Structure 1
Amino acid sequence: MSMARSSPRFKELLCQVVWRKAQFREVSISDAMLAPLNKQDYMYFFELTSAHMEKLYIWNVHKKAFDSYLGRHLLRPDLTFYLRLDLTNLRELCITDDQMNNSMIQTVTKSCPDLCSLSVSSAYITGKFIVGLPNLKTLVARECSVEPEYLAELLTKLQLSTLDLTANKHKVEQTILEAPTVGLVHLQRLGISDAQDCGFRIAEQLPQLKELVVSYQDVQAEDQCDMLKTTKELVESSTPEFLNRLQMILCNVVDMEVALEQIAGLETRSPRQSPKFCELLKIIYKCK
């Protein structure tokens, strides 16, 4: 880094190295190679090389970057620094930071015009401005607050192949079910929380899905049993084609897994006499 500052030729060489080597085009701010750099050199590195990056992973910046009340500076810049970089070649961006907000999403739409994959996790993300990424194929927005109206717009204007809204603040199942076919035809993987009937209706209505993940939190045992009963009735009355599509159902509760396997006709084991339920239940449909 010091040599790059001292000579235009060394500066050019540093950029060429990054451009040529695939491992540098995929960068995480937690990468061990960046650990020895002080804040000034760290920022200089990103300013020189960001234009060549294709994948960028940013983790919990707010915990590492702020000015203390004593005036001491920590070793890393704040989140806005990364969003101001030249990211014109970026294809995949992952920001796991609960300070991410809609205004920053708007910045991303301007700085990353060809972005294909966006992953964010923040309660301040409502889905606004995401539609400004016309090439987006993968949207992972776990623990966000994506609003139904913005989701409907996304499903209408973008051709998403992967959508993960696990633990979203708002209920979005009905919005997905009511979305126009043109917005769902490319959707192959979907993550959603608190879907009715273990996600049966979504799995039935979207036959192009290859993977559907349904999660539940703080579900009462009685309610879950009622849902399983209803789901079993729906499965029994469904077409043989749906049963053939349903290859595997998984969850993190042993007794629930047995019950679901029985519903799908995949297993004949019996649950224990005293079934136990935990606070988090996740069901995964994997289809052909």
Structure 2
Amino acid sequence: MPRIAYVNGRFVPHRDAAVHIEDRGYQFADGVYEVVPVFYSQLIDEDAHLDRLERSLSELRIAMPKSRQVLKMISAEVMRRNQLTYGFLYMQVTRGVAPRDHKFPKAAKPALVMTVRQTKPHTSEQLEKGIKVITTPDIRWQRRDIKSISLLPNCLAKQEAVEAGAAEAWLVEGDGTVSEGSATNAWIVTADGKLVTRKADHLILSGITRLSLIEAAKAAGMEFEERPFTVEEAYAAREAFLTSSTNLVMPIVQIDDTPVGNGHPGMLTMRLRQLYIDYVTADPATRKNQEEAA
């Protein structure tokens, strides 16, 4: 079955999808994006992703291209046309097409693109094996809270990880603390079993999976702390893992050349993964009760 994309009001074959060469996303990375996971043909945390999309656009002074209800209708139609059951929906909004000039154009119309990708759930073997991450200096700009399509530093970090035989790169500030991964949020479990991840401010992207996992962990009564942690603290951690819309909760078994814990996925990490899946697939009333109980 051919893939179908949505581009500025039209559903087109994915291979034919295109934007104008003077789209400001192409020329200036002047736009934002969202990646929404899909389980069993259902968008996960759709409203939270749309909240973040709206916030990112507001920070860049780009108007929402459609109302929230219309965006949901388009998303559902793109999924239907592609028969998407498990994977993710990608949506991108740019400032639109205008003659090349650094200042904001006065009359450009925001451009909207949506695509989907079918993926397979992680296998038990993958989860039992875990992944390796490396650390590398964080060279990005200071507004990482905006989900910008300007991702060149992230791509450089990811490539460095791949060339080192790792799955992800953790980005490190000048003070030695970990900010986040090139495309993920970073977590550790301390020796006394406390969950630690950096507080969401302008130095990291507030991941939607991260937010849902925090709520799931609170509902389960787990100890949790939002604060920076150093690379050395990560080396000494009992467990480590990352979160993202495409990885969910993924155990980390090695950081640079240092095994994490006993070098195998941690029991708490695997419990958190299941808690997250149970939390996001629960009906809204059940989730509300879990949050109130916490």
Please confirm whether the aligned pair reaches a TM-score higher than 0.5, indicating the same fold: no
Give the structure-1-normalised TM-score.
0.25
Give the structure-2-normalised TM-score.
0.25
Return the index of the structure with the highest Cα Rg.
1
Higher RCO (C-alpha under 8 Å, 6+ residues apart): 2
- Comparing both structures, which one devotes a greater share of its residues to helix? 1
- Comparing both structures, which one devotes a greater share of its residues to strand? 2
